[in-house]
Chains A and B, each alone.
Chain A
Amino acid sequence: ETGVTQTPRHLVMGMTNKKSLKCEQHLGHNAMYWYKQSAKKPLELMFVYNFKEQTENNSVPSRFSPECPNSSHLFLHLHTLQPEDSALYLCASSQLAGGLGTDTQYFGPGTRLTVL
């Protein structure tokens, strides 16, 4: 396994619920990512955090709210989602090497989200 854990692994929620996804990396990395994986679509980058600071928001709707309290933990807070938000949400981490760094990203197992 990659050293990136995600909880819960499965989540079913109604459109009026509020829930959170959690990601933890045990690799000592300083960058973390959220991706969305939908059926028949490529993985889509959602957010990037470097040293706890958000550096990328890929035009994600505000009903998805990320939080990165430290370099090892990343959350995705969900509220008033739509059925089309049902997908596998993947967390990843990498080590910024500075300059021409490696940027190899290591993924967690994902949270399978179903919005009813």
Chain B
Amino acid sequence: GENVEQHPSTLSVQEGDSAVIKCTYSDSASNYFPWYKQELGKGPQLIIDIRSNVGEKKDQRIAVTLNKTAKHFSLHITETQPEDSAVYFCAASLQGAQKLVFGQGTRLTINP
């Protein structure tokens, strides 16, 4: 089955700097890759996703890149702000299979 590895487990950056979180997956058939943000006391919220027919997707300060050959994808947050502090999860699945496999999470802290 699918296995997703996420790094780093913790990340601390200065406000205004960029943050990058990386994930690798094992099943080459996976073709849907969402990223979720989980704040304290809340459930995970989808922030961006990418499908295997594109290599990059951007939404304001957030971007995701996908390298199908290497089976890894990354989340990029630019111009970080204190409200970006949260735990971020990547996930992978075969589109239509409904079985999201999650990474272990990255606790991102933005230092003012």
User: Are B100 and A109 closer than 8 Å at their CB atoms?
Assistant: no
The listed residue (B32, B34, B43, B102) touching A4 by CB distance below 8 A is B43
User: Are B98 and A106 closer than 8 Å at their CB atoms?
Assistant: no
Name the interface residues of B55-103: CB closer than 8 Å to any CB of A.
Answer: 89, 93, 95-103
User: Are B99 and A109 closer than 8 Å at their CB atoms?
Assistant: no
Does B41 count as interface, using CB distance less than 8 angstroms?
yes
User: Are B41 and A109 closer than 8 Å at their CB atoms?
Assistant: yes
Number of A-B contacts (CB under 8 A): 60
Of B43, B89, B96, B105, the most chain A CB neighbours within 10 A belong to B43
The listed residue (A56, A99, A109, A110) touching B96 by CB distance below 8 A is A99
CA–CA, A107 to B36, complex, Å? 10
CA–CA, A92 to B105, complex, Å? 18
The listed residue (A2, A6, A42, A94) touching B4 by CB distance below 8 A is A42
Does B18 count as interface, using CB distance less than 8 angstroms?
no
Does A48 count as interface, using CB distance less than 8 angstroms?
yes
Query: In the complex, which range does the number of interface residues on chain A fall in?
Result: 20 to 34
B contact residues around A100 at 8 Å (CB): 95-96
A contact residues around B97 at 8 Å (CB): 103
In chain A, what residue has the closest Cβ to B42? A109
In the A-B complex, the 9 residue pairs with the smallest Cβ-Cβ separation, listed nearest first, are A107-B43, A42-B102, A43-B102, A109-B43, A107-B44, A110-B43, A108-B43, A42-B104, A100-B95
**A-side interface residues toward B, CB under 8 Å?**
2, 4, 6, 31, 33, 40-43, 45, 48, 50, 55-56, 90, 92, 94, 96, 99-101, 103-110
**B-side interface residues toward A, CB under 8 Å?**
4, 32, 34, 36, 41-46, 49, 89, 93, 95-105
Knowing that A42-B105, A50-B98, A103-B97 touch, tell me 13 more A-B residue pairs with CB under 8 angstroms: A2-B45, A31-B98, A43-B100, A92-B43, A99-B96, A100-B95, A100-B96, A103-B32, A104-B34, A104-B49, A105-B100, A106-B46, A110-B43
